[in-house]
A and B are shown apart, each in its own frame.
Chain A
């Protein structure tokens, strides 16, 4: 299957700082990528849909000024958690789908810990 890579896999940051997470589709072009967040023992919750060359679409309750999404190319989307707080600590996962495919592929996830 197609490969989606996230970086970093783990990050620890201080409260008040910003953290950038990258999501890359390695062997296909993705016009649309998705960002999810998952708290311990909970299911994945969609945060936003990232569209190449345009503004992201955020789900209800997700602060767009706090979670900045940039999808500058067909193979890269970034999620920046701004002014991170301990409650932002979570597992962040991206997914992407090749235009000709019906299934989505997921990155390995990024474990963010804010201290």
Chain B
């Protein structure tokens, strides 16, 4: 699986958009970009994933550059409850088996402040 690079930490004011970047310059054509977050002392929570098109769901938007070497997770209106570590993971979306495992990097610690 391709390696990802994320900033160690970021701050965001409550109510503003939080834009979390991720670099995955070695991504392969069949690898997806996944985002998870982990609130303190909880298990990771799935946020969104995409291949090459931008994606949006009720939690966030995912913007993937045309060359797919980087992406940005956007939380449109951050709240205090969005304070968490956000993980960007790249992997092939195969069905079942060990290919389903997720390899976590260090992630970005997002602190949402008043």
User: Within the complex, what minimum Cβ distance (angstroms) separates B101 from chain A?
Assistant: 6
Binds A, one of B23-31, B42-50, B61-69: B42-50
**Interface size grouping (class) on chain B:** 20 to 34
Q: Which residues of A contact B45 (CB under 8 A)?
A: 106
Contact A99 B95 (CB under 8 A): yes
- Spell out A's residues near B (CB within 8 Å): 1, 4, 6, 31-32, 34, 36, 43-46, 49, 51, 57, 91, 93, 95, 97, 99-100, 102-109, 111
Beyond A49-B101, A103-B49, 13 extra complex contacts between A and B, CB < 8 Å: A31-B96, A49-B97, A51-B97, A57-B98, A91-B41, A93-B43, A97-B96, A99-B95, A105-B46, A106-B45, A108-B42, A109-B41, A111-B41
